Structure 1
Amino acid sequence: MGPPTVLTIAGSDSGGGAGIQADLKTFAAFDCFGTSALTAVTAQNTLGVHGVEGISPAMVAHQIEAVLDDIGADAIKTGMLFGEETIRAVVHTLEKRFGKAAEGGRERAKVVVDPVCVSTSGHSLLPLEAVDTLRTVLLPFALVLTPNIPEAEFLVGWQKGSIKSIEDMQRCAAELGSKGVRWVYLKGGHMPLPKGEDGTKVVVDLLWDSVEQKVTTEERPFLDVLNTHGTGCTLAAAVAAELARGKTVPEAVLSAGNYVASAIASSYPVGRGAGPVNHFHPLTRRTLPLPNPHSPAPFTDYLIAHCGDAWTRYVQHPFPNSLAAGTASLESFLHFIQQDYHFLKQYGRSNSLAAYKTEDMKLMAGSIEIVNDVIKETEMHVKYCETYGISREQLQAVPESITNIAYTRYVLDVSSRGDLLDARVVTAPCLIGYGHVGARLVSSNPGVEVDSSDKNPYWGWIQEYGSDWYQGAVRKGIELLEQTLLDSPISPRRLEELAKIFLKATELEIAFWDAAVEAGRKSREEVMRREGLPV
């Protein structure tokens, strides 16, 4: 037995992102054999449609008959049908083969209709006089109709913008179902809905069963990206492919929706406008998985896992543990706090370089937020030093230690010579590691009598790194790291290079805390020498 076969009846996209080109790529991604009947030729690219010429209706019918006579079709998808005569020719040809819709022809043919009327760029792809023919002749033959919100409003004669809620979507889908469509899969991508108080938006897709008069919905994160050209064609083609593979309609639309969401998330730039989705993401061996509920930060997870024992030695280091327990010497703490102040200045410069290295305003803004958080952190260090009689001027005059110089110069060197990912990765161990340590120590509250700064002078420092503001900064940093990788996919070799940078920075963090412990040890030995005690 060969693979399932799927026939697309649609127009050609010379840019390769939509039309039969998108359909055939999608069929291949679902392990189906795709065939095609061309209805029109377009001159288009990522910037828009520049011209359309139709194929004669007789030739369209001839293509369909040739494919069905020899290869057959386990499912059929229609897209841009160009005009009224072509619509009638398509339906007439299918009726001859499968029977009329009322006779079960649409179920036997498993016809998925993508009601293409207007391109994303605003170019009309179906004359107005053909719309009534689409409604009265083609829709009753559709097992599944896959309109987006503007198409659905247009097909039922509602004013543009009438759909403002999920309830409106359901009413519109039900009205489309009353025109003879068995299932209506109304896509919500044109109406992202807010969820929660953090500005998060979601897309709700709705499936209407016109026989059972039942609705189901599926919610996914809204992806605010440019590369969405061909999503309508791709989704309808994915539904047809899954139907050809034996899935039920609810199963098929769920799978298709997930496929398109991942295709958008893993897209890459093509052309100067709205690029295509990544049709072959299921077939491409990815360096890393896409973010998902199980692993929302796969890049970060990989970098930490690559460190192995070094990451454990870092986040479980004796120095922060001694601060939480109140057992660290003052000399050790002051050495750390003064050197960390100087390190943070260079850390801020590195994140400023990251902002310089991107033209994406959101990524730039994220780097600026981190710099502002660093400024807040340095002021916290100044206040601690003032508590122990060290003024801002004295703090600024403290020379950098050899350990600090080694770390800061590495961070600045990588940030200045490398690209945006290099700058993100080399600064990540500091931000993320302190967040891990702060969250762990605040939640476990180790040691004795650490509930107040009177009993443990260092506890305030621990609380700062376990606090909402710093943990929020960590989340922002991880989001920036993950988004930067999503925007610029990398090879396995490049991933290995970045993992080495992350490991080196982690080892330098360990050395930084080792130096604080060593400063405390030397101070104790000096006191013992002065008192004539054996060292």
Structure 2
Amino acid sequence: MSLRTVLTIAGSDSGAGAGIQADLKTIAAHHCYGTSVITAITAQNTLGVQSVEGVSPAMVAAQIDSVLDDIGADAIKTGMLFGEDTIRAVVRSLEKRFGKAKEGGRDAAKLVLDPVCVSTSGHSLLPLDAVDSLRADLLPWATVVTPNVPEAEFLVGWAKGSITSVDDMRRCAAELAGKGVRWVYLKGGHLPLPKGDEGDKVVVDLLYDGESGETSTEERRYLDVKNTHGTGCTLAAAVASGLAQGKTVSDAVSDAGDYVAAAIAASYPVGRGAGPVNHFHSLMPRSLPLPNHHSPTPFTDYLIRYAGDAWSRYVNHEFPNSLAAGTAKVEAFLHFLQQDFHFLKQYARANALAAFKTEDMALMQGSTHIVNDVLKETEMHVKYCETYGISREQLQAIPESVTNIAYTRYVLDVSSKGDLLDARVVTAPCLIGYGHVGARLVSSSPGVVVDSNAETNPFFGWIQEYGGEWYQGCVKTGIVLLEQTLAKSPVSAQRLDELARIFVKATELEIAFWDAAVVAGEKTRAEVMSHEGLPV
């Protein structure tokens, strides 16, 4: 198939998330050649539209003539048209090129009309006196019109909020088709509907055939994310690209709906407000979706799934299980406390390195919170050791074991040589795993033997610390930082695999760390104390 061309007639978005910029990205992503006619210039960003200035109708017409005289267009998409004079200039140019709309001109133009009236932030993008011209002059040219729910209500003169169901959408689409448009694709993104008993919501998009009166609908999962700037422009441009490639209207709108849904799921934060969708998700996809209502921790979930058996062996290890049951040897617990004290010092250094590796103050602050929590955790270890006659000075003087050295050096090596994501991932198994173990053992999960009596189980206090509100809050903070770091730094599939392997390696070193405690439990307390250089 030869290269197809799509002409977009719309306003310019200085933030590049909507308008001409979004259209051209979408057209390119669909492997078509995009040309453009600018109707207005906007000063806008992810926070909203600050100013709009129109291009003269004569210049709009000149642009259309220039493009069509040389390059032509296999399909045309219109967006923000600024005013009545501009709309009429566009219609005159269409008539000049294709003849009358009702005499075959519409079929030849393949025009997709995105009836841009008001921006998402509430800024008026089309004067009220231009709406009549849009309805009377331009709608008959549209092969497909793609309003959202508020736009559809506005175009047919219904009160705001009149559409509350799919049946309402169907009636509104039929009335809009009666104004001369061939197909109405009424988008349901502004009207998420409940689905099932789990609180899930879906978006229902409706396609209405203006000739036969037939209706079809499609459901897609509702993604509760803020990066939806430019979705209307993007969808209309995707529909136009499909028509240019010879697709039927039904296939073009269905494929466009899938494209936009994937672009929302694959978006990443840009600016301080509603960011754009990821127009090139099919060319340079996010390896994971952004956190959303249905999957709040996609990165963490992926890492744990990737670790598989190693993660299961870690969080179900016999050492913490024996602490919960009260059957652990004191020697094992002492060895763990002493070596974990040393590990936590290096763990704090790794998180300090994470703070060093970011310019984002929020992410930096998150790392400092973790460091402070680690310092609190080390003090907890000191107090436990003191109950067994080991002073702070003696604890600090105990040398690191070979197992501990292997783990701490790996964490520091990855944190120092890698980037912020490396530092986050290599420290994640310790933070998240201890939280998982603590929550599981405190809740007395099925199959777990727990002795919560302090008189018979001197170790249960340790379990309670990690299963309690303080440490579980630390885990939540760490997971949020992990997710935010990936959200702000989307990575390739290869890079994601590399990060997952780091996570697995750190998990295996955690297993070895607890294995060493179990081995230490096979020694007498005298042997342990003597080995560590402590008085027996």
TM-score strictly above 0.5? yes
CA deviation after TM superposition for structure 1 residue 78, in Å: 1.4
CA distance in 1, matches of 2:302, 2:55: 50
Residue 76 (structure 1) aligns with: 76
Match of 1:66 in 2: 69
1:90 aligns with 2:90: yes
Q: Is the 8 A contact 1:185 1:205 kept in 2?
A: no
Paired AA for residue 135 in structure 1: R
- Counterpart position of 1:533: none
* Sequence identity (%): 63
The answer to whether structure 1 residue 236 and structure 2 residue 236 are counterparts is yes
**Secondary structure, aligned partner of 2:523:** helix
Structure 1 residues 61 and 412: alpha-carbon distance in aligned structure 2, compared to 1, 3 A threshold: closer
Q: Cα distance, 1:298 vs. partner?
A: 6.1
Residues 177 and 492 of structure 1: is their aligned pair in 2 closer, same or farther, counting only changes over 3 Å?
closer
Partner of 2:10: 10
Q: Which residue of 1 aligns with 2:484?
A: 483
Using the TM superposition, give the Cα deviation of residue 42 of structure 1 relative to its aligned residue in structure 2, in angstroms: 1.8
> Deviations for 1:303-325, whole angstroms, at most 9, x for unmatched residues?
56887986576456553466688
What is the TM-score when the length of structure 2 is the normalising length? 0.70
Residue of structure 2 in register with 1:532 after alignment = none
1:259 and 2:262 matched: no
1:132 deviates by: 0.3
Distance 1:234 1:500, change over 3 A: same
| Secondary structure class of the residue paired with 1:221 | coil
Distance in 1 (CA, whole Å) between partners of 2:361 and 2:107 is: 48
Residues 476-485 or 410-419, more deviating? 410-419
Which AA in structure 2 matches 1:79?
G
- Structure 2 CA distance for aligned equivalents of residues 297 and 39 of structure 1: 41
Residues 183 and 207 in structure 1, CA contact (< 8 A), matched pair in contact too? no
Whole-Å separation in 1 of the counterparts to 2:253 and 2:377: 49
Opposite residue 52 of structure 1, the aligned amino acid is: G
**Structure 2 residue aligned with 1:52:** 54
Q: CA deviation at 1:376?
A: 11
Deviates more, 1:140-149 or 1:289-298: 289-298
Distance 1:497 1:14, change over 3 A: same
Moved more, 419-428 or 288-297: 288-297
Tell me the equivalent position of 1:283: 283
Distance 1:380 1:104, change over 3 A: farther
3-state SS in 1 of match to 2:240: helix
Q: How does 1:135-146 map to 2 (within 5 A)?
A: 135-146=135-146
Q: AA paired with 1:399?
A: L
1:232-256 residue CA offsets vs partner (Å, 9 max, x unmatched): 2112101222333444445433432
Deviation at 1:30, TM superposition (A): 1.2
- Structure 1: distance between partners of 2:182 and 2:38: 25
Q: 1:100 to 1:377 in 2, by over 3 A?
A: farther
RMSD of aligned Cα (Å) = 5.4
Unaligned runs of 5+ in 2: 531-536
Aligned residues: 511
The residue aligned with 1:207 is: 206
Q: Distance in 2 between matches of 1:11 and 1:279?
A: 18
2:534 is matched with none
Taking a change above 3 Å as real, the CA distance of residues 212 and 497 of structure 1, as seen in their structure-2 partners, is closer
Greater shift in the superposed pair: 252-261 or 462-471:
462-471
Once the two structures are TM-superposed, the CA of residue 513 in structure 1 deviates from its matched residue by: 0.7
* Aligned 1:293-304 pairs, distance under 5 A: 299-300=299-300, 303=303
The alpha carbon displacement at 1:27 in A equals 1.4
Query: 5+ unaligned residues in a row in structure 1: which ranges?
Result: 530-535
Write out aligned runs for 1:396-435 (5 A): 399=395, 402-403=400-401, 406=405, 420-434=420-434
2:533 matched residue in structure 1: none
Deviation at 1:522, TM superposition (A): 1.7
CA contact (8 A) 1:338 1:398 kept: no
Paired residues of 2:338 and 2:395 also in contact (CA < 8 A): no
Equivalent-residue separation in structure 1 for 2:220 and 2:473 (angstroms)? 29
- Of stretches 413-422 and 39-48 in structure 1, the one that deviates more from structure 2 is 413-422
1:28 aligns with 2:28: yes
Superposition map of 1:340-359 within 5 A? none
Aligned: 1:185 with 2:185: yes
Question: What's the offset of the Cα at 1:222?
Answer: 1.6
**Is the Cα–Cα contact under 8 Å of residues 358 and 420 in structure 1 kept in the other structure?**
no
Residue 510 of structure 2 aligns with an amino acid whose one-letter code is E
- Give the letter for the 1:424 counterpart: R
Q: Which moved more, 1:515-524 or 1:466-475?
A: 466-475
Using the TM superposition, name which of 51-60 and 434-443 deviates more.
434-443
Distance 1:22 1:474 in 2: 39
**In the alignment, what sits opposite 1:221?**
223
| Counterparts of 1:109 and 1:302, CA distance in 2 | 47
Q: Aligned with 1:10: secondary structure?
A: strand
CA distance in 2, matches of 1:30, 1:125: 27
Q: Which amino acid aligns with 2:176?
A: L
Contact 2:324–2:451 at 8 Å: present in 1 too?
Answer: no
Aligned residues of 2:204 and 2:217 also touching (Cα < 8 A): no
